[in-house]
Amino acid sequence: MRGKRFGTGLSLAAGALAVCGLAFAPTAAAVAPGTATVNADCGSYGGGDATLTATQSGTSATITLTTSSVTAPLSISQDSLVSELTMVKEGGGTVVFKGTKNPAMSTGDALEVGPLSGTVASGDSLEAFGGTLKVTAFGFITITCTATGPQAPGPFVFD
């Protein structure tokens, strides 16, 4: 009988710890929409639709950009592009997302950069239109892209 009570006590204690762990676990923040499309002009490197995908964890956020409208001018190794995406903040100011993350790309592959990291505050509303994307390859080839209109379905709003 004593073994049963001990086992029951351990089970109750483990259950209580699990509930407490859930109560104090950090909550995942949300950004809406999670994905948006923007039309961009990248000068002599081309232009067209690009997809932006945003994620958030607290005040840390990432954005990944992909587009088949701009292609790799040469083979590019993984994590070798230096990228900086400047987003316009509703109400004024900008938020910059930076990083050197990219997949390996062969000549002619669609451009993909990110996830690029930045810091956001709760309620930040960020839009690509009015901002820029600068991507530098090999230390001397810089592609600068600007949005030709607002992103759809709308700006990223961070929790």
0.85 surpassed by pTM: no
Buried b (16+ CB within 10 A) or exposed e, 3-27: eeeeeeeeeeeeeeeeeeeeeeeee
74-113, pLDDT tens digit by residue? 899 999 999 999 999 999 999 999 999 999 999 999 999 9
Residue at 127 is within a domain: yes
Domain of 126 in residue numbering reads as: 32-149
Distance CA 133, CA 16 (A): 49
Amino acid, single-letter form, for residue 126: L
CATH number of the domain that 83 lies in?
2.60.40
Residue at 46 is within a domain: yes
Least-confidence region, from 16-20, 100-104, 154-158: 16-20
Q: Rounded to 5 degrees, what are φ and ψ at 7?
A: -65, -40
Residue at 78 is within a domain: yes
